[in-house]
Amino acid sequence: MTTNLNRQWRVARYPKPEEIIGPEHFEWVSEPVTEPGDGEFLVRTICLAPVPAQRGYLEKSHDSFLENLPIGEVMRGRGVGQIVKSRHPDYQAGEIFVGSLGWQDYSIQRPRGSEFVFSTKKVKNPIRPLSTELSLLGQAGATAYFGLLETGKMKAGDCVLVSAAAGGVGSAAGQIARIKGAKKVVGIAGSDEKCRWLIDTLRYDDAINYKTENVGDRIKELFPDGIDVFFDNVGGGILNAGLANLAMHARIVICGFISTDYSPGPHHGPINYQCIVYKRARIEGFVVFDYWEQYEKAERDLFEWYRSGELINAEDEDKGLEMMPDSLASLFRGGNTGVKICRVSPDPDIF
Ligand SMILES: NC(=O)c1ccc[n+]([C@@H]2O[C@H](COP(=O)([O-])OP(=O)(O)OC[C@H]3O[C@@H](n4cnc5c(N)ncnc54)[C@H](OP(=O)(O)O)[C@@H]3O)[C@@H](O)[C@H]2O)c1
């Protein structure tokens, strides 16, 4: 090890409901690196992935399924790292590990359940860059895969709408819909540049800039026969506009609700909910971890599509552990194109 200090972001205070999370909610500290005990191993962080749900660790909220972190605790977050010291017979120094590393340079880890749980695993065949384990082969890719194909039951010939389409999950969801033979794939995003990127790089058929266009009118124009699968990451007015333009037996996949994430509640439901009855539609929420037992298949498919060049792994990298609070905040301001990754140290020379 080149340093015996472990830099960390610890929780300093909880944000108010209307506040975007940022550096003021965290404290930057350093402490000596601790030694692994029996059955444990020490992991040096290579990359972390800030995701919108991490705000939930700091929210004294309602009905979130995430546990609150106590003030003073190291901020929780998934990452990929390299084992640098081990006192566990199955984990060797030099191996690559994905898990809840926290916003810090080093963490003490121990195995948790199945090796196939995508959030905690030893990476048997690492690929470059290692951040792929957090993006396409991690939570973003798995969420898009299971949300679209399992919850949304998307099939060839479907017309698919994806909101927050240029984000981590959305950028994979639209591409998977294309690979699976969608008749039409349209994305909704917050800038003309992102809309161009969806069409030119990710092979979306069309895109709607929700900041400058009338979303309801554009959806009606682009889906004259209605939407078969609406993969919604946003909620609020965008969900409402989608509901008004469904095909018969449409499936609405509720993946997230980032538009209401930092607006004070209570939040109103969509006023177009009667369309669910008229169109015999199904609206269903899901959490990616519901599908972890099928993760091996998802990983195989995602990797195969990636290797063959059909699926682009879109990452948007910030550099330095110092950046983590800003990296997380940027997600709520549309500051990412693809999966936001924060690089803490370079990929080791293992390839
Ligand atoms: N159900 C699950 O298991 C699961 C798993 C992972 C993620 N999620 C959820 O899925 C959603 C997307 O996650 P992600 O990781 O892809 O996020 P991401 O990469 O951080 O993308 C978030 C994007 O949302 C857009 N956005 C932000 N505020 C918005 C608003 N008020 N209205 C419309 N769009 C807004 C921004 O792009 P623009 O520039 O386009 O505004 C931003 O880049 C989040 O709600 C997340 O919590 C759910």
Whether residue 312 contacts residue 175, with contact meaning beta carbons closer than 8 Å, is answered with yes
Q: Is the CB of 303 under 6 A from ligand 1?
A: no
Q: Is the CB of 331 under 6 A from ligand 1?
A: yes
The predicted-structure confidence for 14-31, as pLDDT tens digits, reads as follows 988 788 889 999 999 999
For the chain, what percent of residues have pLDDT higher than 90? Answer: 82
- The pLDDT assigned to 220 comes to 98
The predicted-structure confidence for 180-207, as pLDDT tens digits, reads as follows 999 999 999 999 999 999 999 999 999 9
The predicted-structure confidence for 225-264, as pLDDT tens digits, reads as follows 999 999 999 999 999 999 999 999 999 999 999 998 766 6
| Atom 31, ligand 1: residue with shortest CA distance | 259
- The pLDDT assigned to 275 comes to 96
- The pLDDT assigned to 116 comes to 47
- The pLDDT assigned to 3 comes to 57
Q: Is the CB of 229 under 6 A from ligand 1?
A: no
CATH 3.40.50.720 fits 139-289, yes or no: yes
Residue 97 has φ and ψ, to the nearest 5°, of: -135, 140
Start-to-end CA distance of the chain, whole Å, equals 20
CA of 304 to the centre of ligand 1 (A): 25
Pick the more confident residue, 175 or 114.
175
| Atom 22, ligand 1: residue with shortest CA distance | 167
- The pLDDT assigned to 1 comes to 47
Q: How far is 1 from 345, CA to CA, in rounded Å?
A: 13
Cis peptide before 270 (omega within 30 of 0): no
Residue 258 has φ and ψ, to the nearest 5°, of: -60, -25
Whether residue 239 contacts residue 164, with contact meaning beta carbons closer than 8 Å, is answered with no
- The pLDDT assigned to 249 comes to 98
Residue 137 confidence (pLDDT) above 70: yes
Whether residue 122 contacts residue 94, with contact meaning beta carbons closer than 8 Å, is answered with no
Residue 214 has φ and ψ, to the nearest 5°, of: -80, 110
Q: Is 52 helix (H, G, I), strand (E, B) or coil?
A: helix
Tokens of 75: 């901020």
* Domain 5-135+314-343 CATH superfamily: Medium-chain alcohol dehydrogenases, catalytic domain (3.90.180.10)
Q: Is the CB of 168 under 6 A from ligand 1?
A: yes
The predicted-structure confidence for 329-342, as pLDDT tens digits, reads as follows 999 999 999 999 99
What is the pLDDT of the chain when averaged over all its residues?
93
Whether residue 325 contacts residue 26, with contact meaning beta carbons closer than 8 Å, is answered with yes
Residue 46 confidence (pLDDT) above 50: yes
The predicted-structure confidence for 83-120, as pLDDT tens digits, reads as follows 999 999 999 999 999 999 999 999 999 887 654 455 67
pTM: 0.94
Segments making up each domain of the chain, as ranges: 5-135+314-343, 139-289
For the chain, what percent of residues have pLDDT higher than 70? Answer: 94
Q: How far is 18 from 137, CA to CA, in rounded Å?
A: 33
Q: Is the CB of 187 under 6 A from ligand 1?
A: no
Whether residue 244 contacts residue 279, with contact meaning beta carbons closer than 8 Å, is answered with no
- The pLDDT assigned to 311 comes to 97
Convert 94-123 into a string of H (helix), E (strand) and C (coil): CCEEEEECCCECEEEECCCCCCCCCCCEEE
CA of 94 to the centre of ligand 1 (A): 34
Give the CB-side neighbour count of residue 256, counting CA atoms within 13 A.
25
pLDDT band at 62 (very low <50, low <70, confident <90, very high): low
CA of 1 to the centre of ligand 1 (A): 37
Task: Work out which ligand 1 atom sits closest to the CA atom of 339.
Answer: 19
